[in-house]
Amino acid sequence: MQNDILKEIQEALLSMDMEKTLMLTKRALEQEFDPIKIIEDGLSSGIKRLGEMYENGEAFLPELIMGAEIMKRAVEIVKPELEKRKEERKKLGRVMLATVEGDVHDIGKNLVALMLWINGFEIIDLGVDIPAKEIIEKIRELKPDVLGLSALLTTTLLEQKRVIEELEKAGLRKNVKIIVGGAPVTEEWAKKIGADGYASDAVKAVYKVKELLEL
Amino acid sequence: MIMNGQKEWEKNNERFLATLNLEESDRVPIMDIVNNEKIRKIVETNDPLETNARAYSYLGIDITRDYWWHTDFMWFKNKFFEWMDVLGIKKEGWAIKTKAGTTWIDKRPFKNLDELSNMLPPEPDESKIAEWFIPYHKKTIEGYKKYGIVFVGNFEGPLTEAYMFTGYDLFFQAMFMAKNIVNKLLDVFEKWIMIRLKLWVEENMGDVVFLGEDIAFDKGLIFSPKWLNENWFPRIKRIRDFLFNKNIKMIFHSDGNLYPILDKLVFDLKIDALHPIDPTAGMKINEVKEKYGDYIALIGYIDCSHLLPFGTIKEIIEKVKETLYIAAPSSGYILGSSSEIHDAIPIENAKVLYETGRKYGKYPIKKVIT
């Protein structure tokens, strides 16, 4: 009975039915369901399945973005209960994400953040158009395990390189694994600028981060 | 720097049309967009249109779809003017930001579907559009013509206009939660483009138009084929049919990997040419040429993400030669970058791209792959 509602949440999310997903999430809470289970086994499972469908060409970007929005709103409903119970999801690691300076695109970065979060990572999203200096300060302060740098424009690709160089200069490079992504980014580019990894999309970013952290 | 103006323009136009008709001419035409500060500084005058024309002339480009290139006029800034001052969208709450040589939307006046539903664009007013469109385009065409350069009317498709207006996130939400909003936006922007196309035709502004509709990215289609078939294709077909009936050629542009929809574009929509055959998205010009080369012309393909900004002169020459040998024999190819000559591309690399095209693009071109 209990697992049925989680399955229903998952199915409602996969059907892109915002209203039903939120209604079922509320109902699960009313039934005193473990909020972490609602997130992990209901909502996150739905998004993971959506990610697989996206990888296989059965779902497209609008479905993925819509799924993310549904999940975001459902998590907002669950959050107060989580806080009340002082429960926390287990964390596999801390990932800091930023779109580099000069670039204002965030759709790819936001999807990477979502997929990593549902897979158990803590996310620090610095936002878009972030100068190298600010990224370095935040790394020093918050000590993430992984830094993800996004760039959509060729003109801002060099900024990924610059952040890595600045991290070297600051003596922080060895403290953090770096993955890069964005439309013009390639495996060769990642190697050339001294990143630890490259991911062509949000689902692959999860595998890459796990691989880098040997999880 | 100024060429024989009218005479050069006629030659370039003739070569351009022959290539779109898949007929051989004297050499492969060259078409591109330049958005490069270093080049602008070399040719700059007080007049942005003159500066543009001089830049294309300086590099040896025959054809462009570029309006008055200047950071202040680029893309969204231009679009903002068109949306607000011509289409009549209210200005309050919008903000733009210039970054990396172009301008992007920084702030929209709506944050959710409810707010968006109260701020949809108004019905386009034909007379108001004509008041701006006709003199602006005539001036642009003539400004380029003085330097022998052919200007191709550049129109963004209704879908691109619609999701640029709302932003991706809200447009995708509306697809599932407010289909009436999606339909209304597509209706308005279809009318917006149709009015301008009609004016383009009535005023005899040119034989070719460029229709940009970004429906794909590096992984493939942004939207599902089913959604595109139901919501987008009938609209784009109406636009295509209008142009076809007026004997106007249509170049279709979308970045990204278009393989899943190429049959539809070529055989159902019957486009005349495809741009830019995005190499970073896995498109291969030999494959496209082999399958569709008897039906459409191909434009672009020279990678401006890595090759043109970071490649050596030798690598660029080899890639241009290889591309010409694959795509140009017996016509059907127009040389150009895979998007634009942006700020990260050194002047020498841009120059060698076009010089190689002029040198090795003379017909007859032997079909030899190096």
Is A170 found in the same domain as A133?
A: yes
Is A99 found in the same domain as A147?
A: yes
Is A22 found in the same domain as A119?
A: no
Residue of B nearest to A186 (CA): B280
The answer to whether the CB of B19 falls within 8 A of the CB of B28 is yes
Listed in sequence order, the DSSP H helices in B112-232 are 113-117, 126-145, 158-166, 168-177, 179-202, 225-227
Give the Cα separation of B366 and A60 in Å (integer).
Answer: 42
Structure confidence by residue, pLDDT tens digits, B184-194: 999 999 999 99
Query: Which range has the worst mean pLDDT, B58-62, B69-73, B177-181?
Result: B69-73
Is A203 found in the same domain as A97?
A: yes
Residue matched to tokens 């634009």: B340
- Res B74: pLDDT: 54
CA distance, residue B176 to nearest chain A CA (Å): 7
Give the Cα separation of B19 and B272 in Å (integer).
Answer: 10
- Res A212: pLDDT: 96
- Res B204: pLDDT: 97
CA distance, residue B23 to nearest chain A CA (Å): 34
- The angle at the Cα of B122, spanning B120 to B124, to the nearest 5 degrees, equals 140
What is chain A's alpha carbon radius of gyration, rounded to the nearest angstrom?
18
The answer to whether residue B302 sits within a structural domain is no
Give the Cα separation of B202 and B209 in Å (integer).
Answer: 13
Structure confidence by residue, pLDDT tens digits, A113-164: 988 998 899 999 999 999 999 999 999 999 999 999 999 888 888 999 999 9
Closest CA to B231 of B171, B278, B166: B171
Average pLDDT over residues A201-213: 93
Give the Cα separation of B157 and B219 in Å (integer).
Answer: 21
Q: Does B150 touch chain A (CB under 8 A)?
A: no
The answer to whether residue B358 sits within a structural domain is no
Is A30 found in the same domain as A111?
A: no
CA distance, residue B342 to nearest chain A CA (Å): 7
A35, A55, A85 - which closes a domain: A85
Those residues with Cβ within 8 angstroms of residue B166's Cβ, 6 or more apart along the chain or in another chain:
B108, B110, B116, B174, B185
How many Cβ atoms from other residues are within 10 Å of residue B207's Cβ? 16
- Res A209: pLDDT: 96
- Res B1: pLDDT: 45
Average pLDDT over residues B71-100: 77
Those residues with Cβ within 8 angstroms of residue B79's Cβ, 6 or more apart along the chain or in another chain:
B156, B164
Structure confidence by residue, pLDDT tens digits, B85-97: 889 999 899 988 7
- Residues listed for chain A: 215
Q: Is the pLDDT of residue B112 over 70?
A: yes
- A178 CB burial (10 A radius; 0-12, 13-18, 19+): buried
Instruction: Return the residue in A22, A54, A60 with the most chain B beta carbons within 10 A, the one to mutate for interface testing.
Output: A60
Is A68 found in the same domain as A100?
A: no
Residue of A nearest to B221 (CA): A60
CATH number, domain containing residue A61: 1.10.1240.10
Is A125 found in the same domain as A155?
A: yes
The answer to whether the CB of A99 falls within 8 A of the CB of A150 is yes
Give the Cα separation of B301 and B363 in Å (integer).
Answer: 20
Residue matched to tokens 């969204």: B76
Which residues of chain B make contact with A181, given a CB cutoff of 8 A?
Answer: none
Q: Does B95 touch chain A (CB under 8 A)?
A: no
Structure tokens at B219: 């992984």
Residue of B nearest to A61 (CA): B222
CATH number, domain containing residue B49: 3.20.20.210
Is A203 found in the same domain as A98?
A: yes
Q: Does B280 touch chain A (CB under 8 A)?
A: yes
Q: Do B100 and A153 touch (CB under 8 A)?
A: yes
Q: Which domain holds residue A206?
A: 93-212
- A123 CB burial (10 A radius; 0-12, 13-18, 19+): middle
Count of structural domains within chain A: 2
Listed in sequence order, the DSSP H helices in B203-271 are 225-227, 233-245, 262-263
The answer to whether residue B175 sits within a structural domain is yes
Q: What is the pTM of this model?
A: 0.92
Strands A121-125 and B95-99: unpaired
**Residue B283 — pLDDT band, cuts 50, 70, 90?**
very high
Task: Out of B104, B175, B219, name the one closest to residue A62 (CB).
Answer: B175
Listed in sequence order, the DSSP H helices in B246-346 are 262-263, 285-292, 307-310, 313-327
Please enumerate, as own/partner, the contacts of A206-210 that have beta carbons within 8 Å and a separation of 24 or more: A206/A115, A206/A116, A206/A119, A208/A179, A209/A93, A209/A95, A209/A116, A209/A121, A209/A146, A209/A148, A209/A177, A209/A179, A210/A92, A210/A119
A67, A85, A103 - which closes a domain: A85
Residue matched to tokens 């970073």: B280
**DSSP code of residue B364:** S
Strands B153-156 and B150-151: unpaired
Which residues of chain B make contact with A16, given a CB cutoff of 8 A?
Answer: 176
Looking at every residue in chain B, the average pLDDT score rounds to: 93
Q: Do A154 and B305 touch (CB under 8 A)?
A: yes
Task: Out of A107, A154, A155, name the one closest to residue B168 (CB).
Answer: A107
Task: Out of A16, A60, A154, name the one closest to residue B309 (CB).
Answer: A154
Task: Out of A61, A65, A129, name the one closest to residue B99 (CB).
Answer: A129
Q: Which domain holds residue B139?
A: 39-295
Is A166 found in the same domain as A65?
A: no
**Residue A53 — pLDDT band, cuts 50, 70, 90?**
very high
Q: Do B222 and A107 touch (CB under 8 A)?
A: no
The answer to whether residue B96 sits within a structural domain is yes
Average pLDDT over residues A163-170: 96
Structure confidence by residue, pLDDT tens digits, B188-227: 999 999 999 999 999 999 999 999 999 999 889 999 999 9
The answer to whether residue B331 sits within a structural domain is no
Task: Out of B222, B342, B343, name the one closest to residue A60 (CB).
Answer: B222
User: Count of alpha carbons within 13 Å of B149, Cβ hemisphere only?
Assistant: 33
- B177 CB burial (10 A radius; 0-12, 13-18, 19+): middle
Residue of B nearest to A66 (CA): B173
A54, A85, A116 - which closes a domain: A85
Average pLDDT over residues B119-126: 96
Number of A:B CB contacts under 8 A? 76
Count of structural domains within chain B: 1
Amino acid found at A19 = E
Q: Which three-class secondary structure state does DSSP give residue B12?
A: helix
Q: Does B37 touch chain A (CB under 8 A)?
A: no
Q: Is the pLDDT of residue A179 over 80?
A: yes
Answer positive or negative: Cα dihedral of A159, A163, A166, A168.
Answer: negative
**Residue B105 — pLDDT band, cuts 50, 70, 90?**
confident
CATH number, domain containing residue A130: 3.40.50.280
Is A47 found in the same domain as A97?
A: no
- Res A105: pLDDT: 83
Q: Is the pLDDT of residue B75 over 70?
A: no
Is A201 found in the same domain as A152?
A: yes
The answer to whether residue B300 sits within a structural domain is no
Residues 315-354 (B) with a CB less than 8 A from some CB of A: 342-344
- CB burial readout A7-18, b (16+ within 10 A) else e: ebbbbbbbebbb
Which residues of chain B make contact with A193, given a CB cutoff of 8 A?
Answer: none
Is A113 found in the same domain as A61?
A: no
- Res B44: pLDDT: 93
Structure tokens at B333: 């190819």
- Res B82: pLDDT: 85
Residues 206-245 (B) with a CB less than 8 A from some CB of A: 217-224, 227
Structure tokens at A19: 């209203």
The answer to whether residue B318 sits within a structural domain is no
